[in-house]
Structure 1
């Protein structure tokens, strides 16, 4: 493994994957919270015509020119989305669908044209569809790092403004904040994240990197600052792990492996996150049903004691089962462990009987008190 990591190509892929994970996690958090999860998909597809135009202008596979073209196309698509939603009656989802279709169709036409000239294959532009991480050079990393650093610094400088626009744009507008400019800035930075990931995971899979880290982080916290940090961490973890697996297993592309890795993180988060995970929620629901059943059984014993005018009334377990239409043995055992009921004898009957303890009577009289609270 150490010999593998000493390879310069592997190092470039790892650093590039980490940069992609960081910027995608941070900026994707704002997109998800603003209910614009498809924005990354739209901007990544919209980057294709910019890639082609950048190649045509440079006359070769020049990365700065290609990435500049992708950024310009992404910025134009972002402005088109904002313009459609603000000046027409169309909603955001319709605007995203329109812009995605038009720009991607234009990109496919340009890509076909380039390939028909006999230079498309040599240019390797088709690798931008699904990514080709192994082609990343150290010079590409400098450009990716500069974009990532610039985006993260801008987020830090405008943190309060971005936070306000994300959660309450109406209040931000009435407070005098330049909401439109801030929305454009956020959208443009997501376009920057797309540019960073084009060579790593490609146009098709880039949407997953914008959405998935933020979705995974959202399951673990309700605080934006924690969510952003977690999303960046998940993105870096998925990027580096996908790159390592790709390096150790021949014939497996890095981009799809990175997406599979972040998908696995999302699945684990959806299932196991303590507060919002499906399994903890199911366990809490099950515990709630069990507690409710115990409370009902306790109320039944109290009701029988009142009806018979005997606080120490011994109720037959079969009678309690008949009241509830189900077996109550487990509930009674749990209540006994809490000291709220106790088994009792009722000669000459030999069947199980139960009675309320003093603590049980106090619990019925004051149901909101917990057992660990001083009486």
Structure 2
């Protein structure tokens, strides 16, 4: 691997890690679009610094970009606080005007006679990782290390301000200054990323790793680590594409990030689309089995109360199917599933029969359902959601004294399930 390639990959990887760390707090504080406005507002500062210095001096241009970006954030705050314009409109206003001013200044620079020194200035719009040198990597690494140290030192403060700034302020913490420090970290990260990713798409490098990490974990510490690792992977993948194909760096890095994000949206284990579909299907199957068991019990309950044995209580398939609203496929799948776990005996010529274990399970489901019905009838503030969803957990939230009282009401009304003894009914 060539030395220049190693420099570029190192710079892109470290920039991705820094963007992932800082971007996590930007996303949590709902400052993602503010970072976008800051990146666009930095373009006029780049151009003005170039005009003042007279050459392409990266430190001077980055300082100009930082000053211009912070000025843009200040203008957004002034518009939001001093007028009736909402923050999203103020961000859009500053973003578009700043970018327009930057494009005009770029055109002015292109019309100057000193063409040699301005070569490559337009790369700040879409980014150009191939132009990185060792000094650029050192600068990015220094900023990343500083951000990491600040996060480690002020982790608890950043955590509270990110999730509940009002609580931090009530507790006497300097929430305003902590938030200002977060914004400064975002601003510096955006500015150092402009040469690699560009003005247009730098905000994506802040947002994508953090948004992707949120699909895999809800823990803040794990989110920071995973977001940093994703930032490294995104930076390396996008840079590898630009090294082999004539594509601009910024869009390539962002598209690589989009691939990671789409993969997480689809296949994250808990919050991904596929996992949610599978969980929903599993829940629906479980609910259908519970409904089938409760239907079986309710149909044979009169016979059980008359003293007939469980073996004598059989159910006609047609009667069982018609006592609930369900599709044929749902009904058949539920029968097979319950037979597989031993809750329903193998079908006989004279109908369907519950096993002893199936009777106990069905009676317990009916007990919980009837308890929930009593709660809904006697306590208007109770939610009906549990009664419609998972009957197997319908009474776990009922206080023990109230539960005993409700069970006594069921017994006195002759509605306590026959197949369930008192001791079994009390064990939840």
Fold-level similarity (TM above 0.5):
yes
Indicate conservation of the 8 Å contact 1:22/1:233, yes or no: yes
Choose 303-312 or 158-167, whichever is displaced more.
303-312
**Higher RCO, 1 or 2 (CA under 8 Å, sep at least 6)?**
1
Cα drift, residue 66 of structure 1: 0.9
Instruction: Give the match for residue 181 of structure 1.
Output: 177
CA distance in 2, matches of 1:159, 1:83: 29
- Is 1:294 the equivalent of 2:292? no
Residues 111-260 of structure 1 correspond to what in structure 2 (within 5 A)?
111-119=106-114, 122-123=117-118, 124-247=120-243, 249-260=244-255
- Is 1:329 the equivalent of 2:325? no
Cα drift, residue 252 of structure 1: 2.6
Cα drift, residue 229 of structure 1: 0.8
Q: Structure 1: give runs of 5+ residues left out of the alignment.
A: none
Instruction: Give the match for residue 342 of structure 2.
Output: 339
| Matched position secondary structure for 1:204 | coil
- Is 1:72 the equivalent of 2:67? yes
Distance 1:185 1:209, change over 3 A: same
CA RMSD, 1 decimal: 1.9
| Matched position secondary structure for 2:346 | strand
CA distance in 2, matches of 1:224, 1:93: 26
Distance 1:291 1:233, change over 3 A: same
Equivalent of 1:105 in 100, 107, 111: 100
CA distance in 2, matches of 1:178, 1:87: 24
CA distance in 1, matches of 2:106, 2:116: 10
Instruction: Give the match for residue 318 of structure 2.
Output: 318
Cα drift, residue 129 of structure 1: 0.3
Indicate conservation of the 8 Å contact 1:45/1:104, yes or no: yes
Cα drift, residue 318 of structure 1: 2.8
CA distance in 2, matches of 1:153, 1:77: 27
Cα drift, residue 365 of structure 1: 2.6
CA distance in 1, matches of 2:359, 2:115: 84
Distance 1:155 1:88, change over 3 A: farther
CA distance in 2, matches of 1:120, 1:284: 61
Deviation readout 1:292-312 (Å, 9 max, x if unpaired): 111111111111111334433
CA distance in 2, matches of 1:180, 1:89: 22
| Matched position secondary structure for 1:366 | helix
Q: Structure 2: give runs of 5+ residues left out of the alignment.
A: 366-391, 394-426
Cα drift, residue 120 of structure 1: 5.8
Distance 1:149 1:188, change over 3 A: same
Q: Structure 2 length normalisation: TM-score?
A: 0.80
Deviation readout 1:213-233 (Å, 9 max, x if unpaired): 111001111111111111111
- Is 1:362 the equivalent of 2:360? yes
Residues 6-17 of structure 1 correspond to what in structure 2 (within 5 A)?
7-17=2-12
Larger Rg: 2
CA distance in 2, matches of 1:163, 1:86: 26
Q: Which has the higher strand share?
A: 1
Instruction: Give the match for residue 87 of structure 2.
Output: 92
- Is 1:50 the equivalent of 2:53? no
Cα drift, residue 34 of structure 1: 1.4
| Matched position secondary structure for 1:308 | helix
CA distance in 2, matches of 1:89, 1:174: 27
Indicate conservation of the 8 Å contact 1:314/1:344, yes or no: no
Choose 92-101 or 51-60, whichever is displaced more.
92-101
| Matched position secondary structure for 2:348 | strand
Cα drift, residue 183 of structure 1: 1.7
Indicate conservation of the 8 Å contact 1:78/1:187, yes or no: no
Deviation readout 1:231-251 (Å, 9 max, x if unpaired): 11101001112212322x232
| Matched position secondary structure for 1:177 | coil
Equivalent of 1:261 in 252, 256, 265: 256
CA distance in 1, matches of 2:213, 2:266: 13
